[in-house]
Structure 1
Amino acid sequence: MQTVVNTETTQLFIIGGGPTGLTASILLSQLGVPHILVERRTGPQPAPAAHVVNTRSMEIFRQAGLPMDEIYALNSHPQARYVTWSTDLKSAPIGKFDLLGDEGRLLARMNMSQDRVANISQPKLEMALAEKAASFDGADIRMGWEWKGFRKDGTSLVQAPDGTEVGIEAAYTLAADGAGSPVARALGVKKNGPETIAQFLNLSCKVDLTKIVGEREVLLYWCLDPEIFGTCIVHDPKNLTVFMVPLFGPLESYDDARCAGMLDKLFGPDVPYELLYKGVWNMSAQVAERYRVGNVFLLGDAAHRFPPTGGLGLNSGVCDAHNLVWKIAARLQGSAADELLDSYEIERKPVAQRNCDKSYSNNDGLQNILTAIGLDPAKGLNQPIHELLEAASAPDEKGEAIRARVNEAVENERDHFDAPGMEVGFIYHGGCALSAASGATPDNDAGSFEPRALPGARLPHVVLEGMPGVASTLDVIAYDAYTLFTDGSAPAVTQPTFGMPTKVLDISSESFAANKARVAEALELKAGQWILVRPDGHVAARG
């Protein structure tokens, strides 16, 4: 190990340049907080990895000033609407789920936000976030730099690409260094929950899937043929498909020849493909015991690891950053007590546990679909799969009965694939940044979302007309201030704002004339009443 040549000082130090760390960097720059971010990779995530960017994350990116038209344009499969279970890519579905199939829920989704879920490969998202993060003068983004550990004085030791080691001294450190989090291990923070539920082989391929499949609007194909048993995740139907294969034996048995054989059978002999990435992925369901140790905070996968069933992992990390950064900025300004930072764990950990539990149950729920086909999940490949699939696919009365049973099981998983209550309906309870009334605010069920301007809830979206530069009530929430909605004059607000400025919006004013009725109804705001909204868009108090 080389000798440390110098120690640099910064207000805030971010370890990890994935979506969580980069979101934190952008938000810090919005608030004028200088910081250093180190990422051991020299570029974005090599594997496509996550692909679901949910509604709340898109709202956060909008508030963070990202060019939303460009972000939405990163979606290379905007027509995706189906999830299917079939023998292979060419076979007719045995079961089929339509993400747009429930008109009532679809209408509710359209009304809950101006933003929507997008299917964006993680590397594309990371590149867009990295470009935005690097555009700020106060952000020192260092790719290819690796965090090596804590020194005896509590400062961090990092290694530059040329091997030079440097000390970093910061008022606060954000550890967004991924599922294996060296920082969490160094701090001795344990995670509760199963470390390994299953292991998967990720085979990411450049392939034109439209030359193979009959149905072009599928996001996920569950292929049930035992020789190609796995899930195809379509990131781009003409260019990128990820084949996730559950490991039914030792990793060594999945050598290059075996993988090539599976892909040849999956895509067929006449369709060229290129294997872009091969790696093993471990499915966990864990939440850290602590989110804070002194001046170090855990965010994203460093704090929680979920099964991918539900697409909540990346999005939870984005929300972690959104919840914490404004609080740190207030603390750095010197007017907020340290207990404000404790509210990060108080608020976010229960949400992470709920997301973890839902993701785990979603994974279990998929087994019910296999059972409906006639398969026994406990037996893996050791059962007459071909015969069972033939029976389920047969164009006869028995086959129709099996498919009806399968589609009933599929429909029972709607809250897996369409969970607005998890995306935008999570409620924060307790802590000094919310009024005591937040404890009484009811949680939304996973499959439903009732917009309510109650303490702990995200402010309801209301369409605003005739107001330049804003289209929603969420657009008027600034990340560097509290926002106070009133209907006429309001009494003094006693809820603390931790030294941050408060912007007052009187809905009885002339500027709100065209929107007052809708806003007053949605926010349940009457003359003389008020609603105080935090920088992260959650209601702090009302009176």
Structure 2
Amino acid sequence: MTDVQVPVLIVGGGGAGLTASMTLSNLGIESLLVTAFPNTSILPKAHVLNQRTMEIFTEVGVAPEIYKRSTPAKNMKATGWYAGITGDHDGYGRELGRLEVWGGGYTDPDYVAASPRRTCNLPQIRLEPVLRAHAESLNPGNVRFNHELTGLVQDEDGVVATVHNKDDGTDFTVRAKYLFAADGGRTVGKILGVGMTGPRDLMRMVTVHFTADLSAYLKDDEVLIRWLVNPDFGGSWSSGVLVPMGPENWGPASEEWIVHMQYATDDPEAMQREKVLDRLKGTLGVPDFDPQINSISQWVMEGVISDKFREGSVFFLGDAAHRHPPTGGLGLNSAVHDAYNLCWKAASVLRGQAGDPLLDTYEAERKPVDQNNINNAVANAMNHFVIDKALNLSPENSPEQNWAEVRPLWEDLPESHNKRHALNKAIGSQTMEFRHHNVEFGYTYDSTAIVHDGSPEYVPLDPVRLYEPSTKPGHPMPHAFVEREGERIPLGTLVHGGHFLLIAGEDGGDWVEAANKIAAEHNLPIKAATVGVLDSDYVDVRASWLKHREISSTGAVLVRPDRYVAFRSVDGATDAQAVLKSALSQVLATELM
């Protein structure tokens, strides 16, 4: 038996576990990651990485490699609905409609104003090796694949875990203060008796990952996801969803592809390889289609969430905390955000800078957000049937009937006006999935780690589609480019490395002085500066901070290490140090004397 002592044991080597490993390393906290699998995922899985995720990956240093390997912005501007791909009908391959996706390749002004990082697309089968390599470079020898957790007990000092090294057959124990369960719910939750609640068996899906040249049949370089509304099969989910996989070329020139196809939950054909391939060939309609099949995976759409996000010294994140449909790309992103929220809090407690109750705010903050993501992902999946309804398509109809229903979209027939507008409205409703900026980026937190300032409750103009930058406590810090000594930086990057950030107005020097004194007296990682258009530490060259700061020139905003506003004072204070010390005491769940 070889005993290992480490502050944090991470169980699971997917997006959540690897992000936790990288983030803890970035914060100077030692960790050990173990996963029963010999390698990263061999299945395509998730692929969309939203702006907040790319901000996090920028902080830990892995974003450049991800952008290098991912879909170019020009190839991920839109999603499109097509009458299949090709075939013997004159309607095959026709575009029925399209919609911008996730900022339209970083051309939507709202997305550009929200973050210095654009949404990116890299399938998990390509992403995870990049994350693993970077995690290993930050924490050599402590990212261990093919190491399975076989036992776990908790005591007053943390956890003791038993790990089996599947490479050499040995076992060892790990003593850790905290355990992060990022194992997809396979092991830790079962050992501790923590279950998951929510709807299951929403849809049965089969995903085929294949290699083939489809460039002769596809157009529209800017389209990322193609919904094959093939009238021969009667609708969108029943036909298939086609997504490029790269890896070297994207758009119609992609070398690899995946197709998602819906089956009835009790359909035996979903389990039969030849039947699945026959349906794939029928869906695509490509003559003499003989692709290289890389994998066929079956999965069930569900919308479940862990009954607890914390059980003693164990925390659940990623798929161990929530699982839901891939529609909207919220799953992997939620996992990354879980890790980012939890890691700075654990680091603060481990350093003695915060009290244990700070860790309770992980569930208080993340569980409502993750539940909202589940609700939206499920609604997104169901909303695709709106397209079929607008077109009046059904698997119960004959192919001839379905083709007659879509023909008015490209021919001028008496019903063309109504049919085209009905489809336009149905596609517009899909902005709940493809422009859900407030869901994926603008979500807010409410916990004891947020000091409310008495301002009116936030009522969004649209809770799904419109992110509204604000410094109201609990909101993500608004983005602004600022300059100092001729160098332009995103203001939010000042939190990198686990720093609190005190931003005062032009005349708020007393706040800055107070923050610096508190940082020195209590050994807290606080950066403090004035930001303004004129006489300030950082120059607000575009006046973008001024536009959203919602404080006077004497006020201040305190931002947490995860870029969420913890405290705000619209104006100055008679005793800035006492006010700020009180706010930090609440956030950190400890008394700063």
TM-score for the superposition, normalised by structure 2: 0.83
Letter in 2 for 1:435: V
Higher mean alpha-carbon deviation, 400-409 vs 201-210, is at 400-409
Letter in 2 for 1:490: D
Matching residue of 2:149: 147
1:409 matched to 2:433? The reply is: no
3-state SS of 1:531 partner: strand
Matching residue of 2:90: none
For 1:455 and 1:157, how far apart are their aligned partners in 2? 42
Matching residue of 1:264: 281
1:70 matched to 2:65? The reply is: yes
Choose the corresponding residue for 1:436, options 452, 456, 460: 452
1:182-261, aligned counterparts within 5 Å? 182-225=187-230, 226=232, 229-236=239-246, 237=251, 238-248=254-264, 249-251=266-268, 254-261=271-278
Higher mean alpha-carbon deviation, 15-24 vs 88-97, is at 88-97
Letter in 1 for 2:20: A
1:495-514, aligned counterparts within 5 Å? 500-507=524-531, 511-513=537-539
Percent identical pairs in the alignment equals 29
3-state SS of 2:142 partner: strand
1:458-477, aligned counterparts within 5 Å? 458-465=476-483, 470-477=488-495
Letter in 1 for 2:436: A
Per-residue deviation, residues 238-263 of structure 1 (Å, max 9, x unmatched): 21211111123534554222223223
- Post-superposition offset of 1:223: 2.1
Letter in 1 for 2:480: V
Matching residue of 1:346: 364
Cα separation, partners in 2 of 1:330 and 1:122, compared to 1, 3 Å: same
Matching residue of 1:53: 49
Matching residue of 1:298: 316
Verify the 8 A CA contact 2:196 2:307 in the aligned structure 1: yes
- Post-superposition offset of 1:116: 1.2
Choose the corresponding residue for 1:542, options 564, 568, 572: 568
Cα separation, partners in 2 of 1:401 and 1:77, compared to 1, 3 Å: farther
Letter in 2 for 1:501: P
Verify the 8 A CA contact 2:37 2:147 in the aligned structure 1: yes
For 2:306 and 2:454, how far apart are their aligned partners in 1? 24
| Structure 1 gap ranges (5+) | none
Matching residue of 2:97: 95
3-state SS of 1:131 partner: helix
For 1:100 and 1:338, how far apart are their aligned partners in 2? 37
Cα separation, partners in 2 of 1:439 and 1:208, compared to 1, 3 Å: farther
3-state SS of 2:348 partner: helix
Verify the 8 A CA contact 1:119 1:235 in the aligned structure 2: no
Cα separation, partners in 2 of 1:340 and 1:243, compared to 1, 3 Å: same
3-state SS of 1:490 partner: helix
Count the aligned residue pairs: 531
Choose the corresponding residue for 2:473, options 444, 455, 476: 455
Matching residue of 1:22: 18
Matching residue of 2:329: 311
RMSD, aligned CA: 2.7
For 1:514 and 1:84, how far apart are their aligned partners in 2? 40
| Structure 2 gap ranges (5+) | 87-92, 570-593
- Post-superposition offset of 1:463: 1.7
For 2:470 and 2:161, how far apart are their aligned partners in 1? 43
Higher mean alpha-carbon deviation, 350-359 vs 205-214, is at 205-214
- Post-superposition offset of 1:518: 4.0
3-state SS of 1:328 partner: helix
- Post-superposition offset of 1:461: 0.4
Cα separation, partners in 2 of 1:115 and 1:31, compared to 1, 3 Å: same
For 1:70 and 1:102, how far apart are their aligned partners in 2? 22
TM-score for the superposition, normalised by structure 1: 0.91
Cα separation, partners in 2 of 1:41 and 1:103, compared to 1, 3 Å: closer
Verify the 8 A CA contact 1:45 1:123 in the aligned structure 2: yes
Letter in 1 for 2:120: A
Matching residue of 2:178: 172
- Post-superposition offset of 1:465: 3.7
Verify the 8 A CA contact 1:533 1:539 in the aligned structure 2: yes
